[in-house]
Structures are given as structure tokens and as C-alpha cells.
Structure 1
Amino acid sequence: MTVSPPVAAAKQPRRSLSRFRSSRGRETWAGLAMMAPAALLLLLFLIVPVLLAFTLSFTNARLISPNPPRFVGLDNFFRAFTADPVFLQSALNTFLFAIVVVPVQAGLGLLLAVLVNQRLRGTTFFRVVFFIPVVTSIVVVSILWRFMYQSDGLINSMIDTLTFGALQGADWLNDPSTALPAIIVLSIWQAVGFHMIIWLAGLQTIPEELYEAARMDGASRWRQFTNVTWPGLRPTMVFVLVTITIAALGLFVQVDVMTQGGPLNSTSTVVFHAVRKGYEQQEIGYAASISLLFFVAVLIIALIQRWLTREKN
């Protein structure tokens, strides 16, 4: 039996449509298969821990205990602000660390980026030198600086040599007044190279024609920076400030390696206090509540920072 031309013409689009759907279906399944490993890892190591921490923060769970966890409501949060002076000291130390590190590290990184962005011989060498501490393990860096900060370490020896014995260096990590500033100096030195590279990438996206036009108008180097460079770096500035702030608020490794929160809790931070409560003192529920408070604080600060640096009409 022969198929009439109108019927054959009607079946042809259906076959092509089914073929199209089958190819789209294969592409969809292939995409889901490639996404599945990453989605599984995110689920296991991000979403589940966050949900578990949120649940434990309202209990009195301990790391090793024969008693099952008991729901305590908001007791852990009230304890943090009323019955735990170490938490309040840790929060203050974290705030002081961030309030110093964020502007200094961002400004110093921008200065270095402007210097190594010049078309001169040897700039590549300095880029590598400034970036070496970034690729070095922070644990190794902290151990080296701990030796340098000792009373008979390199820093005090340099002070004694440069001043011909007129000044004596402090016991940097064992003095409550100098321990946190010492960690601040180390942290800025270690991470400034990373943000120098970010600033440098932003500088290289600014068209050279804008500088040529500014020079033709007689603009000085400072006017070129304020009218051309800085406006062109606004997206980069937002990224740099947010990343530095999050890293500064999450200070942990330097404290854990160099001071263990001492002396007299002068270098304890929120993250370090949460880890110490959760693993050393086995108060998992209370540590989870501290972590939840830390998460909310970081989120609020990041949102405020993003709002302050937004594009304004």
C-alpha cells in the first residue's frame, strides 16, 4: 500500500522531532552524568555538614558521650554571649585582625601591582618573588615565622644589629600586647602577593587609549590613577575586599601553629575557639552554635561590604 504525499509529508516532521528529542535527551543525560560526581561531593562535604551543624547547634551533643544528644533550644547561643568570655575575646580579636588586615593588605597589594605593571626590565622577577609566599604552605610559613619571632630569633637579632644594641626586641608571641600584631604582619606578608596578582589582572584590562587621552589632556600620574585606573578597578576592588574579609575572619592556621590562642587568649579567634571547643573539649553542640554565629556574621559583613561598594548611578 502506498502512502499518499500529504501523509508522508506529515510523518516526516514527526520523525525529525522524535530524533531531535532523542538527541536532546542524550545530551541531558550526558550532562547529568558529568555533573553527578561534583554534585555528590558538594552534597556530602558542604550541604550535609551545614545541615548537621545547624541541627547540632540546638543540642548539647558531645563528641564522645554515652548519653544521646538533648535539644536545648537557644541555650548555646545565650551561653556564647553571656557565659563564655573567651568567645567574646575571640570575636574581638577576629574583628581587630580583619579591620587591620583588610585595608592594609588590599592597599599594599594594589601598590605592588601598580609597581610591577610598569614596562621595565625585571618586573617578572619581582612578580615571582612577591607571589612565592602565596604558593608556600601556610603551615610552613607559620613555623618559620614562629622561629623568627623568638626572643633570640632573626627579627630581634636584626633589631639589635641595626640599632647597635640600643633597642631590644620583644618576646613577640609570648606578650599579649604583641602576639596579635605579630600574626597580623605575618598574614599580610604571606597573602599580599595573591591580591597583587588580582589587582594586576584588573590593571591589564584597562585600555591603554584611556591613559593616552589623559596624558594628552595634561593629566598628572595621580590624576590618571584617580580618573582612569581607580574607576576601572571597581569590579576588581569588590572581589579583593570580599575575599580578604572572608579569609581574615576565618583566621585559624597561624594561631593554631604559632600561639594556640595564647597568651591569655590574646590571639584566640572565633574559628579557633570553635575548633577547640568541638575537638579538644568535645562540646560538638556548642561548637556548632559558634560556627553558625560565625557564618551569619560573615554573611552579614559580606553583604554590607558588597552594598557599600556597589555601582552607584
Structure 2
Amino acid sequence: MTTSPGLVAPAPAPEVTGRAPRRNRVRRDRLAGPLMAAPAVLLLLLFVALPFVAAVWFSFYNVRLGDPRDPAFMGLTQYARIFTDPDVSSQFLSALLHNFVFAAVVVPVQTALALGLAVLVQKNLPGIAVFRSVYFLPVVFPMALVALIWGLILARGSDGLLNSLLSFFSGGSFGAQDWLGSGRTALASVIVLSIWQGVGFQMVILLAALQQVPRDLYEAAQLDRANAWHRFVHVTLPGIRTTLVFVALYTTILSLRVFDQIYVLTRSGAGLNEDAARTVMYQAVSSAFDANNIGRASAISVVFFVIVVVLSLLQRRATRERED
């Protein structure tokens, strides 16, 4: 194309490559993850990492609340007393045994109940939403309230609801039991309370996993004439195996750090046998605020933290090998 004399042809527009906007978009995408995780990381640092570091520091000193003197450095003495001092070591080992018994019962029973409830409420039946809400309702209640309610249920003598029901259905032949005060039933009572309160949370997690299992697998199993049990074993369980591992690991950690229900049932006048249901976290809190020994409480917490981490890693490794 020719131009008229005296006119200058316009310069060609610069080619837009789009590299700069794409580079900015990639940079924003890289920053999005850290920025979104920053609040959670900050909370973990403030309420988990920092208190743990402080506990490690306190464990090397003789720290007492309200003492005007400076904390005296004791080195590893607090740790040595946990395993060598007869009074401290006996309480610690007894509390650690109670934690293991609690976890050994709660983890499999609560996981199995949660899975059974999840399979039950998964079906689309009339009013099933009401059952889901009822099963999940105890999770909404704070543990202190749950402990108080169960304290009334398991109260000694004829005042307890459980004793009244057993006496009514047995025609008065069943004698009133001290469920919380007896050394044989105190820990078992706390276990029942904890399972009742926490099974709904695991049920919701497993219910979400069950709904993600492809329906085609069930249809293929039915075509192969597999019954309900075989479909559950060979289709359902493999489909939710990862979620089951998470639920078992999470329940184990919660079981090992049990404290609230022990404290409330012991200090509220419910009559829980302290020696029969003492846990490690309860002993740490008692050492800190009853015996006014922050150093010993910190040492107990650090030792217990190491034990929980080791057990969690062993459990995760065992479950990973089974998955492989």
C-alpha cells in the first residue's frame, strides 16, 4: 500500500508477548500459599512451639510460682527424679500405664463404632439427617459439661442415674455401685464417657470418606455376586484406608493427652478415684499448681511429648507398611 506525499506511515504496534503478566501471575500464585498458611503457622508458633521451648527451659530449673528467689539451675535433675524418685516415678509410671490402657481401648473401639455409625447413616433413609445430628451432638458439648453430666449418671449410691436404672430393671437385686470411686471401674467409666463424646467426630470424617468411594465398584462387586460383607471388606475398607489411618492416628494422640474429663470428675466432687484414673497430663498439671513445682511439671511434659511423638511415628510407619 502506498502513502500520499507528505504523510508518514504509522509505526507498527509492539507485539504483546504476555510474558510479564504470566510472570506476575506465577509470582502471585507462589505467594498465595505462604500467605494463606501464615495465620495457622503463627498460631502454632505462639501456642505450640513457644510453650514447648519454654517447657524445655523450665525443666532445667527449680521454678516455683510466687517465689521471689531466682530459679536455680538443676540440669537434668528433674528428669532423673521422674525415673529414680520413688514417689514421682511410681505416679508417673502408673499414669503412663493408664494412658496406654485408655488408648488401647478407646482407639479400636471408638474407630469401629464410628465406622459402623458412618455406614449406618450413609443410607438415604427418611429422617437420616436427624440421626446424624443426634450422633454428632455430643461433640458440640464441651468436655467439662460432658464430664459433669456423666458424673451425675455414674454417681454413687441410689442418686446415680445408672444405679437407679439397674436397680429398677433388676427388681432391686442389683446393689448400688460406686462407678467412679472404685479402683476397678474408675478408668473404665472415663473410657465410656470419652468414647460417647468423641465417636461422632470420627463418624463425620469416615462418612465423608465413604461418600467418595466410587459407586461403580459396588456395582461391579454385585455383578460378581459378592455379598454385603465381601463388599465391605474388599471395596469399602480399601477405599477409606487412608482416612481410617488418619482417624486412628488422631484418636491415639487425643487418647494419650486425655486430661479434661479426669480433672473435672476429680475436682468437681463427682468422686473419681484419682489414683486409679490419673494420667500423665493430670500429673503434670497437679505438679505445677498443686505441688507448685513448675520444673517437674515441665520435665514430665517434655518426656511425655517425646513418648507421644515416638509412638505416633511407629504407628504411622506400621500403617504405611500395611498400605504398601
Interval of TM-score (by shorter of Structure 1 and Structure 2)? 0.7 to 0.9
Largest Rg, 1 or 2: 2
Do residues 105 (structure 1) and 110 (structure 2) align?
A: yes
Aligned equivalents of 1:31, 1:204: Cα separation in 2? 28
SS of the equivalent of 1:177 reads coil
Q: Counterpart in 2 of 1:61? A: 63
> Which residue of the partner structure matches residue 4 of structure 1?
none
TM-score (norm 2): 0.85
SS in 1 for 2:62: coil
Aligned equivalent of 2:11: none
More displaced 10-residue stretch of structure 1: 58-67 or 149-158 = 58-67
- Does the Cα contact within 8 Å between 1:259 and 1:267 map onto a contact in 2? no
CA contact (8 A) 1:180 1:267 kept: yes
Contact 1:109 1:193 in 2 (8 A): yes
Q: Say whether the 8 Å CA contact 1:101–1:188 is kept in structure 2.
A: yes
Aligned: 1:223 with 2:226: no
**SS of the residue aligned with 2:187?**
helix
Shift in CA distance, 218/280, structure 1 to aligned 2, threshold 3 Å? same
Which residue pairs with 1:202 in the alignment? 209
Give the % identical residues. Answer: 44
Between the aligned partners of 2:233 and 2:22, the Cα distance in structure 1 is 55
The CA deviation at 1:75 is 1.5
Q: Which moved more, 1:255-264 or 1:216-225?
A: 255-264
**1:50: which partner in 2?**
52
In structure 2, give the amino acid aligned to 1:69. Answer: P
Q: After superposition, what is the alpha-carbon deviation per residue over 1:36-81, rounded to whole angstroms, capped at 9, x for unaligned?
A: 6555443332222111111111222222212222222222112112
Q: Structure 2: which 5+ residue stretches go unaligned?
A: 1-13
What residue identity is the alignment partner of 1:172?
W
Residues 269-308 of structure 1 aligned to structure 2 (within 5 Å): 269-308=279-318
The equivalent residue for 2:277 is 267
Hey, what does 2:80 align to over in structure 1? Answer: 78
AA aligned opposite 1:274: A
Show the 5 A alignment for 1:227-266: 227-260=234-267, 262-263=272-273, 265-266=275-276
Give TM-score scaled by structure 1 length: 0.88
**Partners of 1:29 and 1:171 in 2: CA distance:** 59
Which whole-Å CA distance do the structure 1 matches of 2:163 and 2:182 have between them?
A: 14
| Further displaced range: 242-251 or 31-40 | 31-40
Match of 1:144 among 109, 133, 149: 149
Q: Give the aligned partner of residue 191 of structure 1.
A: 198
CA distance in 1, matches of 2:22, 2:124: 54
- Distance in structure 1 (CA, Å) of the matches to 2:308 and 2:139: 23
2:126 maps to what in 1?
Answer: 121
Give the Cα–Cα distance (whole angstroms) in 2 for the partners of residues 201 and 35 of structure 1.
Answer: 24
3-state SS in 2 of match to 1:223: helix
> CA RMSD, aligned part only?
2.5
Deviates more, 1:105-114 or 1:161-170: 161-170
Tell me by how many angstroms 1:239 deviates.
0.8
CA contact (8 A) 2:265 2:272 kept: no
Secondary structure of the 1:172 match is coil
2:4 counterpart residue number: none
Cα deviation code 1:241-289 (max 9, x no counterpart): 0111011111111011112495251111000110111122221111111
Aligned length, in residue pairs:
300
How much has 1:92 moved relative to structure 2? 1.1
- How many Å separate the matches in 1 of 2:27 and 2:214? 44
Structure-2 separation of matches of 1:265 and 1:35: 43
CA contact (8 A) 1:176 1:262 kept: no
